[in-house]
Structure 1
Amino acid sequence: MSSKVLNVGLIGFGLSGRYFHSPFLSTNPNFKLKTVVERSKNEAQEFDPEIENARSTDELLSDPDIDLVFICTPNDTHFSYAMDALENGKHVVIEKPFSATAEEGKQLVALAKEKGLILTAYQNRRWDSDFLTIKKIIEEGKIGDVVEYECRYDRFRPVVPTESWKEKAVPVGGNLYNLGPHLLDQALVLFGEPNTVTADIRSVRPGSEIDDYFDIRLGYDDKLVIVKSSLMVYENFNRYNLHGTKGSFIKGGLDPQEETLRQNVLPTEQTLGREPENRWGKLYSEDFTGIIESEIGDYAPFYQNVYDAIVNGAELAVKPEEILRTCRVIDLAFESSNKKAVMAY
């Protein structure tokens, strides 16, 4: 195994760069968080004074010492920044959404392949406590064959005056691009490509400029998969409802890693992904009915896998073909909602 240390550059230092990536990159000895692009602020140095500052993306990408770039900027910049990074010979991790369309995604994947570079998407929710738990329950056959799967990711965020692009009618904006990639990636990991995609995407909040609600239904021969999200759900504890030929599993609550990271706790200081008992789900079946202790979530394996793929030739955990199928479903969901039609995958 190599002892090589990868120099990392972050483009952007908002929520994602500061609270998701920096804590894991700075505590993994295989990485050195070398440079962060901040056009006017110096918040990266508040996190770690040794981090260098770049005032432009070009300045970062022109540094020959940078091996790997994380793109943590507004959604509509992901494609252009990723293309530039790949053209400059950098390995790339893109925050969700990976791209605006499946066609853009294919261009990125093709360029990375041509250049012999690692390209992946930050699908960290595969390592959430709740998802690891339901994945294990399905794999162990505790509810038999799944016939219906529903996953929700709701929030209560009434519209308030803000200049944030996340509440504006901007390209590649809205809730489907924000939360949809997480829910769809999880469903596709569990069940593979669907036969059909049917969606209802709309604005439900008074004064909203964005799509803040979606209901996407993935059709399979033997099951129905539903992913939903609304920004107008006050009681948003509901997460997973699974029904199978032998039982059901119901679970609420979110993985605690994000909330803990936002309290400036590093992953080396405590176990971030241990859910409190009130978030554990309940299994209902003839064999057993009762509470199931949640698996422990941990985003660290994502970063180690990226390192191993770059340095040791390991297989990516979040593969390009998996990323592209999520992009395709999002494309089809918008088309389905606009046409009010069932779309063939």
Structure 2
Amino acid sequence: MSRTIQVGIIGFGLSGRYFHAPFLTVNPHFKITKVVERHRNEAEAFDPTIQTVRSHEALLADPAIDLIIVSSPNDTHFAYAKAALEAGKHVLIEKPFANTSAQARELLELARQKGLVAIPYQNRRYDADFLTIQQLLREDQLGDIVEYECRYDRFRPDVANSWKEQDTDGGGNLYNLGSHLIDQAVALFGLPESVSGDVRIIRKGGVLDDYFDVRLFYPDKRVILKSSMLTIDSSLRYIIHGTKGSFIKYGLDIQEETQRKNILPNTPDWGAEPESQYGMLTTPEGRFTFPSQPGNYHHFYDNLYRAIVGEKPQEVTPEQAIAVIRIIELANESSQSKKVLEFR
């Protein structure tokens, strides 16, 4: 039987307001009941039926809430998620899932013991470009992949006065954007044999890393994951070479941009990219425009619901959640030691 999952959100900034709330609002399986905001009432402005509370303790004390979304700064993820699990709540944690692989293992073991779902928010698995790449691989359009490169660049020459660029406990670009790129690679190719990293600060006045070049080594392919905060032309996203073809993709998925316009994700043609953003597939037969699959973050929440009610396993598996954090750790260690490190 269908049921409604009662949701509490810790934090209502960019992620809570523009990623979680719109999709939960239009999904009949979820109902946002309470949101923790320390000083503001943004959630009530979004939906007057949402109750604002001022502490995570008040949220966890509500026996009616089934799912807690941890959408607060990275240094709070582990503590809030652990408290939620101990209170018998399922948890959805903004990336990064945790700041260390030991923390990730502890959360997942606690969830296993209590029969609860603990999952990172890896919405970029449902971007138009990544869904299209999965289609290409399913259809064997590229053959055996020999090199896969993904970039997620921005041009932000001024260092922001925010926890993402100032807080050493979980801040920095590798934990931020790197979590997405690494998760996508692990979802496609599994666990690597070894990892190398070049993680740096390239902006004047920078406190935390704002550039990374992470390499994942597999027996038959190389995976290159890069991001820089000083890239004026940040449109390049993927370059993939295989034994049958190559695929090059420009342009970022349009869902975030659409959500920031206060458009709810129940509109027709949601996530459909303009043809100008379609990727190029090159094979021995020629060069072709390859239409993008529509981006659709709905799939993440649908899978989350089915995992909570026991209908289907979670698509972002516990093993993958741990692997992403472990690769971040190894990339940082590799950057300091100037060595390729075995994934372990």
Tell me the equivalent position of 1:191: 189
Q: CA deviation at 1:288?
A: 4.3
Structure 1, gaps ≥5 residues long: none
Query: Normalised by the size of structure 2, how large is the TM-score?
Result: 0.98
Q: What whole-Å deviation, never above 9, does each CA across 1:128-160 have from its counterpart, x for those lacking one?
A: 000011111122111211110000000000115
Per-residue deviation, residues 289-319 of structure 1 (Å, max 9, x unmatched): 2100101110001111111111143211111
Task: Indicate the residue corresponding to 2:84 in structure 1.
Answer: 85
Deviation at 1:204, TM superposition (A): 0.8
Q: 2:252 matched to which residue of 1?
A: 254
What is the CA-CA distance between 1:205 and the residue it aligns to? 1.2
Deviations 1:169-211 (A, max 9, x none): 4311100000011000101111111111000000111221110
Alignment match, 1:179: 177
Q: Which residue of 2 aligns with 1:166?
A: 164
Q: Which amino acid aligns with 1:305?
A: N
SS at match of 2:132: helix
1:262-302 per-residue CA deviation (whole Å, 9 max, x = no partner) reads 11000112433111111111011113421001011100011
Distance 2:45 2:63 in 1: 25
Equivalent residue, structure 1, for 2:99: 100
Which residue matches 1:156? 155
Residues 39-50 of structure 1: matches in 2 within 5 Å?
Answer: 39-50=38-49
Q: Report sequence identity in percent.
A: 54
Partner residue in 2 for 1:129: 128
1:243 corresponds to = 241
The CA distance in 2 between the partners of 1:142 and 1:307, in whole Å, is 33
Unaligned runs of at least 5 residues, structure 2? none
RMSD (Å), alpha carbons: 1.0
Q: CA deviation at 1:337?
A: 0.7
**Residue aligning to 1:76:** 75
Cα distance in 1 for residues equivalent to 2:304 and 2:141? 32
The answer to whether structure 1 residue 301 and structure 2 residue 306 are counterparts is no
Secondary structure of 2:309 counterpart: helix
**Superposed displacement of residue 165, structure 1:** 1.3
Query: After the TM superposition, which residues 1-345 of structure 1 pair with which residues of structure 2 at under 5 Å, given as runs?
Result: 2-160=1-159, 162-345=160-343
**Higher mean displacement: 79-88 or 202-211:** 202-211
CA–CA distance in 2 between the matches of 1:114 and 1:180? Answer: 30
Query: Is the Cα–Cα contact under 8 Å of residues 9 and 70 in structure 1 kept in the other structure?
Result: yes
Q: Counterpart amino acid of 1:307?
A: Y
Asked if the contact 1:256/1:272 (under 8 Å) is kept, the reply is: no
Deviation at 1:163, TM superposition (A): 3.1
Secondary structure, counterpart of 1:289 in structure 2: strand
Distance 1:169 1:311, change over 3 A: closer
> In terms of mean alpha carbon deviation, does 222-231 or 264-273 score higher?
264-273
Hey, what's the Cα distance between the residues in 2 that align with 1:256 and 1:310?
28
TM-fit CA distance, 1:33: 0.5
8 Å Cα contact 1:305-1:314 kept in structure 2: yes
The alpha carbon displacement at 1:331 in A equals: 1.1
What amino acid sits opposite 1:7 in the alignment?
Answer: Q
Aligned residue type for 1:200? D
Report the 3-state secondary structure (helix = DSSP H, G, I; strand = E; otherwise coil) of the residue aligned with 2:334.
Answer: helix
| 1:243 alignment partner, SS class | strand
